Every structure is written in structure tokens, then in C-alpha cells.
């Protein structure tokens, strides 16, 4: 039976003494995730290809007291040797991890299919996209999510009693998919939307198959949030800005603004702490999927 004091926010969503890993953690949603976890007591290892970005993110946003943000890498998540290297490095520092956030991703090629004549439509898509770009997008956004998760399975399971402090299905994986993988509108980037659709399904596959080792797998499916992917740049603190006007111009966002970083943080804490949540795709999109057909 839960007494009222069990419903205090810090007891529901606190992650004190958790050990977490966030890929693509130096900017954007990965950094939002790391900040939310560290601010609530977790030790968060962030990894990515650019060590300077990771170190700057950790220096700029490491919270005072309690949690930590720690650079780990560099690591290219499409490279199995890199993944094996950071897992081995982490095994030398930690007995287990409580949560893995597979967040690294790329946007892929863009070619808005706006032409109404088939000849012109073909020319636009044929000339502005390539199989190599499609494969690169899929490799980062889907294949790497799978192999990153597989690489960390032993450290995740080690968090389960009696080796670790957590019950079965306490440790978890969060993938970053996208609202783009849940809609029919191509948004001008077929490759990205197709890849994120695959990430959604991969999440469900891993959730089902990895139940046997006691690990949960869920996905956050963001709408428009400020990141290097959406804003095309970041500042000296690894942060990006996405003006309301840019979102309003799209015409399909009911809230008429980008998501707030704190709103992403709330979602990450929810997915991390709720042990009864498994195999779910949580869209945090400001209502876009109410407007655009899924």
C-alpha cells in the first residue's frame, strides 16, 4: 500500500545513484536527457563522435552536488569496435548501469516531393537522394541502436538483484525514435522517416525479445525540439534555439512552438523510473500526430 508521502515527485522520478549512458549526449535531446538525469541524482556517461562537444557539455551543464555528467569516448555507434571499447572502459568503472538511452541519430537526405508532374517528381527525388545516403541514415538511426543495446545488455542485467539493486525489469533502454516514424507525411525526407519507422518497430522487437533477461525497452518519439538536427547549429554551451516563428510556419503544430527542454526531461525520467512501462512509444510532439495522419 502506498502512503501519500510515497507520491512525492522525488520518490516517483528521482534517480539518485543511478548509472546511465546516453549516446549522442553532447547536444540536443541527448544533452537534455543527461541534464534531467544528472539533476535528479544520476551519474550520466555521455558519448558521441566529438570529444570536444562531450567535454564542453559536461563542463557547461554538470549539476552542483548529487549527479554527474561524464564524457565517455569518443565513440562512433556504427562501429562495433568503438562500442566494445566504451563498454570495456565502463566495466572498469561501474558494476552495472541502470539505463541506456540510444539517442544518436542523423537526419538523412532531404528532397521535398512537391512536384505534381511525375517526370519532375522523379528528377527531384532521383537527383537529390542516393542509396548511400539512405543506407547511412538507416545505419545510424536503426542498426546502431540495435548493436548499442546488445553491447550493453550484460551491464544492464547486472543491475538486477542479487548482483545489483534493482528488481527484474528495473533496468531499461530508451530509444529515440520520432513522430516522423509514425506519420504518412514524408516531410521532405523519406529516408529519415522510414528509418525512424524502423526504430519504432525495432523498439517493440527488442522489448519483446529482451524480456527474457529482465530488461525493459521503450522509445521517446519527439516532435520539434531544439537540437543541431532541427536548428542546424548549437552555441558555446552545446545548446540550440528553435524560434516559435519557425514552428508556426509549419502549420501543423497545435501548440505553435517547439518542445521545451524540460518537457523532454520529464519524459526521460518517466521512462526511466516506471518499471511497469515496457514496449511503449511515447510521442512528445505537441499534438502534431493529431493533425497529420499516422
User: Is position 95 annotated as part of the catalytic site?
Assistant: no
Cβ 27 vs Cβ 50: under 8 Å: no
Alpha-carbon distance of 248 to 254, in angstroms, equals: 9
Question: Which stretch of DSSP H or E encloses residue 68?
Answer: strand 68-71
- Among 18, 45, 172, 177, the one annotated catalytic: 177
Task: Give the three-state DSSP class for 12.
Answer: helix
User: Is position 276 annotated as part of the catalytic site?
Assistant: no
**Longest Cα pair distance anywhere in the chain, in angstroms?**
67
Going from the C-alpha of 92 to that of each of 89, 226, 243, the distances in angstroms are: 5, 35, 43
Cβ 41 vs Cβ 18: under 8 Å: yes
User: Is position 260 annotated as part of the catalytic site?
Assistant: no
- Among 178, 192, 224, 234, the one annotated catalytic: 192
DSSP string, 168-205: TT-SEEEEE--GGGG-S--TT-HHHHHHHHHHHHHHHH
- Among 196, 207, 227, 240, the one annotated catalytic: 196
Count of C-beta atoms within a 10 Å radius of residue 132: 9
Q: All 3 cell numbers of residue 136?
A: 547511412
Would you please indicate which residues are annotated as catalytic (active-site) residues? 177, 192, 196
Amino acid at each position: 500500500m502506498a502512503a501519500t508521502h510515497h507520491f512525492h515527485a522525488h520518490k516517483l522520478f528521482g534517480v539518485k545513484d543511478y548509472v546511465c549512458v546516453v549516446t549522442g549526449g553532447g547536444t540536443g535531446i541527448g544533452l537534455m536527457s543527461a541534464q534531467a538525469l544528472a539533476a535528479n541524482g544520476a551519474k550520466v556517461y555521455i558519448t558521441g563522435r566529438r570529444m570536444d562537444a562531450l567535454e564542453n557539455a559536461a563542463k557547461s551543464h554538470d549539476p552542483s552536488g548529487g549527479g554527474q555528467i561524464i564524457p565517455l569516448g569518443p565513440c562512433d555507434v556504427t562501429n562495433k569496435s568503438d562500442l566494445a571499447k566504451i563498454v570495456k572502459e565502463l566495466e572498469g568503472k561501474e558494476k552495472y548501469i541502470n539505463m541506456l538511452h540510444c539517442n544518436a541519430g542523423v537526419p538523412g537526405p532531404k528532397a521535398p516531393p512537391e512536384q505534381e508532374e511525375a517526370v519532375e517528381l522523379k528528377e527531384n527525388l532521383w537527383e537529390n537522394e542516393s542509396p548511400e545516403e539512405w543506407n547511412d541514415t538507416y545505419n545510424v538511426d536503426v542498426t546502431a541502436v540495435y548493436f548499442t543495446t546488445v553491447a550493453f545488455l550484460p551491464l544492464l542485467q547486472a543491475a538486477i538483484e542479487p548482483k545489483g539493486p534493482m528488481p527484474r525489469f528495473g533496468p531499461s533502454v530508451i530509444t529515440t525514435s520520432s513522430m516522423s516514424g509514425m506519420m504518412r507525411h514524408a516531410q521532405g525526407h523519406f529516408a529519415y522517416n522510414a528509418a525512424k519507422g524502423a526504430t519504432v518497430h525495432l523498439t517493440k522487437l527488442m522489448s519483446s525479445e529482451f524480456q527474457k533477461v529482465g530488461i525493459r525497452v521503450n522509445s521517446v518519439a519527439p516532435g520539434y525540439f531544439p537540437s543541431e538536427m532541427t536548428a542546424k547549429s548549437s552555441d558555446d554551451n552545446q545548446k540550440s534555439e528553435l524560434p516559435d516563428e519557425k514552428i508556426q510556419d509549419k502549420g501543423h503544430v497545435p501548440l505553435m512552438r517547439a518542445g521545451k527542454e524540460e518537457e523532454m526531461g520529464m519524459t526521460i525520467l518517466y521512462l526511466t523510473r516506471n518499471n511497469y512501462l515496457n514496449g511503449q512509444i511515447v510521442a512528445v510532439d505537441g499534438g502534431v500526430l493529431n493533425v497529420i495522419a499516422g
